[in-house]
Amino acid sequence: MIKIGLYGYGNIARGVECAVKQNSDMTISCVFTRRDPSGLSTISGAPVYKTDSILSHKDDIDVLIMCGGSATDLPVQTPAMAEHFNVVDSFDTHKNIPVHFENVDSAAKKSGKIAVISVGWDPGMFSLNRLYGSCILPDGKDYTFWGKGVSQGHSDAIRRVDGVIDARQYTIPVDEALDAVRSGSQPELTTRQKHTRECFVVAEDGADLERIEKEIVTMKNYFDEYDTTVHFISQEELDRDHKGIPHGGFVIRTGKTGQSCENNHVIEYSLKLDSNPEFTSSVIVAYARAAYRMNKEGMSGCKTVFDIAPAYLSQKSAEELRKEML
Amino acid sequence: MIKIGLYGYGNIARGVECAVKQNSDMTISCVFTRRDPSGLSTISGAPVYKTDSILSHKDDIDVLIMCGGSATDLPVQTPAMAEHFNVVDSFDTHKNIPVHFENVDSAAKKSGKIAVISVGWDPGMFSLNRLYGSCILPDGKDYTFWGKGVSQGHSDAIRRVDGVIDARQYTIPVDEALDAVRSGSQPELTTRQKHTRECFVVAEDGADLERIEKEIVTMKNYFDEYDTTVHFISQEELDRDHKGIPHGGFVIRTGKTGQSCENNHVIEYSLKLDSNPEFTSSVIVAYARAAYRMNKEGMSGCKTVFDIAPAYLSQKSAEELRKEML
């Protein structure tokens, strides 16, 4: 059994607990939190300890899954823990990945452990599809669309508007843009042409709805480059109709082959997810198995999904995979 | 420059020549044929030699791409050539892959070369998506649909019917089945429910069309388990409307996550290809780069798409990939 430790206990950690139940070669051995452990009960029933005691639990952990946030937690925590454990994180601030990689890589090389960073669906499965697509069809172009799904960051931004009590924002890919991409015409698409944004907002009694709407749709970096629709609803409606955290999207690569580029090809990968964090956790768990196995084979250092042969993700042997899945 | 040799010169080889033009780190160095080389001119302009002279061209070949057929060519040729060269083939007889692997593996281990077998889209990219999907969503089920596309084997089978001059057979996935799968209901689907078959047939003047149609739709192993439609058309119509070799298909994995499996997820990978052999060749060329690089790093033996880390397929460095694609 691969012993999985969880560092932090939020949505991702709970998703990992659910995912590990579906993988018969793994168990959740312990959970670490900065909060008071006595106030926390886990889905798996695994014991909870304070993060500062983690080094006394080294024998209980084959792979430590880092469940903190990308903004401030993971940049510090992943390199620190990679000095002692095989780790997997879901660091998703795309532009900071090169720096994060370097920090984690030097820690993991020192300890002889494997650290897999930026695991999930974007970065993660979407990245893989961008890579495979570009290698197969070099004379082509790829497009990533997100949604329909809840953007936590945009929902938070709306909540900071004066007079707003609660909000939920959906990112929605534009059908006409998807169709244009699938046609193989390799269109140049603006931000506005690719996605729309739909907001469900609970406002304070008597708030100036017109002002709130205007503040939302003109908000820099969040909404100003998009066509945005705002719906004012009650808290009851928000809780009833918008409590899920669905997401998904599309990676489409189109390209041409042939003596005079006469043949067109479309590769499309899409996800339709009822729960964004649970799917992310499910990807993380598969890569935790890979981290464990690669480290057993003597490998160390920081890896991404690009560096990991797919067979490492599976419980099945190489023979079984060739027989049943190739 | 990676020097690519071609063993055999048919559709796949011509597709490889076109694909290599799109990859600036590669060149076609030579082509080998069992036919008379003087009668053969290549797209790339590469020189053509008899297959029995291949060992005198060892210095001209970094990776030899095996372009023969799976029925009788590759089971013999790939192991024989893996004793001397890094090789890539597109062996696609699924049930014989384990035996082919063993034969090629022992040859490649002896020579210290890399041999990548069963490269293309199925086996190949579809296999990868079955593997990734099953690892991410273990509590789920996957489905592969083929088409709409031309099945060469079924077209050939129709041509063997008495009174038939020419034929083209399309495999078509059933929309209702695709929708049922995407719903996440994990339906059990029969062969008949998943695909239909459409045949365009040129018959001899005065042939008994009713008999021909009946012989086709009841043909064992080819058509008897499907709903099959037969259209009789002229040779001119066949040549005008059905000369392409399009194909494609779908790999869909659906699965559940959550404390009580309350969340459903759909992973869908699809291909829409104007030219089946040219796309297959494009995948082969990317894996030829991987074979070359893995062998440079000292690896040897038989590999499949499952064993190859995605980064090996790309011309870009690991740093570039993390920066631009992750």
| Residue B253: strand pairing partners | B142, B267
Q: Please, is B230 exposed, middle or buried when counting C-beta atoms within 10 Å of its C-beta (0-12, 13-18, 19+)? A: buried
Q: Is B219 near chain A, with CB under 8 Å?
A: no
What are the residues whose beta carbons fall under 8 Å from the beta carbon of A7, sequence distance 6 or more? A32, A51, A54, A64, A65, A66, A67, A68, A77, A81, A87
Chain centroid to Cα A297, Å, comes to 27
Average pLDDT over residues B80-87: 98
> Which chain B residues touch A134 with a CB distance below 8 Å?
314, 325
How do B247-257 and B140-146 pair as beta strands?
antiparallel
What's the 3-state SS for B170-229? EEEECHHHHHHHHCCCCCCCCHHHHEEEEEEEEECCCCCHHHHHHHHHCCCCCCCCCEEE
Q: What is the mean pLDDT of chain A?
A: 97
Are the C-beta atoms of residues A74 and A91 closer than 8 Å to each other? Answer: yes
Instruction: Tally the residues of chain B.
Output: 326
Size of interface A-B (CB pairs under 8 A): 204
Give the pLDDT band (50/70/90) at residue B21: very high
Looking at residue B134, its pLDDT comes to 98
pLDDT recorded at residue A252: 98
pLDDT of residue A104: 98
* Tens-place pLDDT, residues A275-306: 999 999 999 999 999 999 999 999 999 999 99
Specify the residue for token string 């780190």.
Answer: B25
Looking at residue A308, what is its pLDDT? 98
Q: For residue B161, what pLDDT band results from cuts at 50, 70 and 90?
A: very high
Determine whether A309 is exposed, middle or buried from the number of CB atoms within 10 Å of its CB (0-12, 13-18, 19+).
middle
Nearest-angstrom CA–CA distance, B63 and A127: 28
- Please report which confidence band the pLDDT of residue B39 belongs to, taking 50, 70 and 90 as the band edges: confident
Assign B307 a pLDDT band (cuts: 50, 70, 90): very high
Q: What is the mean pLDDT of residues B64-77?
A: 96
Look up the ipTM and state it.
0.97
Is the pLDDT at B58 greater than 90? The verdict is yes
Q: Is A50 on the interface with B (CB under 8 A)?
A: no
Q: Give contacts of B 263-322 with A, CB under 8 A.
A: 263-275, 278-279, 281-283, 286, 289, 304-311, 313-315, 318-319, 321-322
Nearest CB partner across the interface for A310, out of B23, B131, B266: B131
Interface test with B, best of A247, A263, A275, A280 (most B CBs within 10 A): A263
Distance CA A114, CA A98 (A): 17
Nearest CA in chain A to B137: A282
Backbone angles phi, psi at A18, to 5 degrees: -65, -40
The shortest C-alpha distance from A145 to chain B (Å) reads 14
Q: Is the pLDDT of residue B149 over 90?
A: yes
Contact A128, A151 (CB under 8 A): no
- pLDDT score for A275: 97
| Rounded CA separation B143/B151 (Å) | 19
Query: How would residue A9 be classed by pLDDT, with cut points 50, 70 and 90?
Result: very high
pLDDT above 90: residue A105:
yes
pLDDT digits (tens, 9 = 90+) for A199-226: 999 999 999 999 999 999 999 999 999 9
What is the gyration radius of the CA atoms in chain B, in angstroms? Answer: 22
* CA–CA separation, B64 and B82 (whole Å): 9
User: Listing from the earlier edge strand, what are the strands of the sheet with A86-88?
Assistant: A48-50, A26-33, A2-7, A63-66, A86-88, A114-116, A301-303
Which pTM value belongs to this model?
0.97
Which CA distances in Å does A170 have to A173, B72, B95, B172, B281? 10, 55, 46, 35, 40
Region B180-199: mean pLDDT is: 97
Say which of B128, B265, B289 has its CB closest to residue A273: B265
Residues A186, A254: contact at Cβ < 8 Å? yes
The reply to whether A180 touches chain B by the CB within 8 Å rule is no
User: How high is the pLDDT of residue A39?
Assistant: 87
Q: What angle do the packed helices B125-136 and A125-136 form, to 10 degrees? A: 180
Query: Which tens digits make up the pLDDT trace of B97-146?
Result: 999 999 999 999 999 999 999 999 999 999 999 999 999 999 999 999 99
pLDDT band at B306 (very low <50, low <70, confident <90, very high): very high
Choosing among A99, A254, A325, which should be mutated to test the B contact, i.e. which has the most B CBs within 10 A?
A325
The residue of chain B nearest to residue A281, with distances taken between CA atoms, is B136
- The pLDDT tens digits of the residues spanning A119-153 come to 999 999 999 999 999 999 999 999 999 999 999 99
